């Protein structure tokens, strides 16, 4: 099983979308899987099920931070590079899915009881979200591990 499929399986087995993507690759950058899952947990469902930026996208963006982010106050070059990578990732994800916003991806607002019910009754978390997890994982894997 490749790693994008592993991320998808983690999601289908109960991790949030952000946990699935972030924890699949975090160990490559010195962060253990358990800590990664804890850090990424609140970003699922578009930030705590608010339907904002898709958690799979957020998980990928955190990986960009682990690889390219700045850790020194004066390191403006790393920050600029990380922001550039974020824009590249978002562009690629939007090319596949038109948006990075959870509400728009699911065509319902999971932050409301009616929207949540609709998503559950129509199998969106089992049949639609796994594609976004896999897409985010494939894009971030290509970006982080391809030869530059």
CA atoms within 13 A on the CB side of 57: 25
Percent of the chain with pLDDT over 90: 95
**Residue 123: which of 12, 29, 33 has the closest Cα?**
12
Q: Please state the domain extents for the chain.
A: 3-142
Mean pLDDT in residue range 73-80:
92
Q: Could you report the per-residue pLDDT of 119-129, keeping only the tens digit for each?
A: 999 999 999 99
- Which residue(s) pair with 101 in the sheet? 53
Is the pLDDT at 148 greater than 80? The verdict is: no
């Amino acid at each position: 099983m490749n790693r994008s499929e592993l991320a998808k399986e983690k999601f289908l087995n109960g991790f949030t979308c952000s946990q699935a993507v972030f924890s699949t690759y975090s160990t490559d950058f010195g962060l253990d899987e358990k800590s990664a899952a804890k850090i990424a947990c609140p970003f699922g469902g578009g930030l705590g099920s608010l339907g904002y930026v898709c958690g799979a996208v957020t998980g990928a963006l955190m990986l960009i931070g682990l690889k390219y982010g700045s850790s020194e106050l004066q390191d403006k070059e790393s920050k600029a590079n990380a922001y550039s990578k974020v824009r590249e990732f978002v562009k690629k994800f939007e090319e596949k899915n038109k948006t990075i916003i959870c509400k728009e991806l699911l065509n319902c607002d999971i932050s409301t009881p009616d929207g949540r019910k609709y998503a559950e009754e129509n199998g969106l978390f089992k049949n639609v979200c796994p594609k976004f997890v896999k897409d985010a994982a494939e894009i971030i894997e290509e970006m982080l591990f391809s030869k530059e």
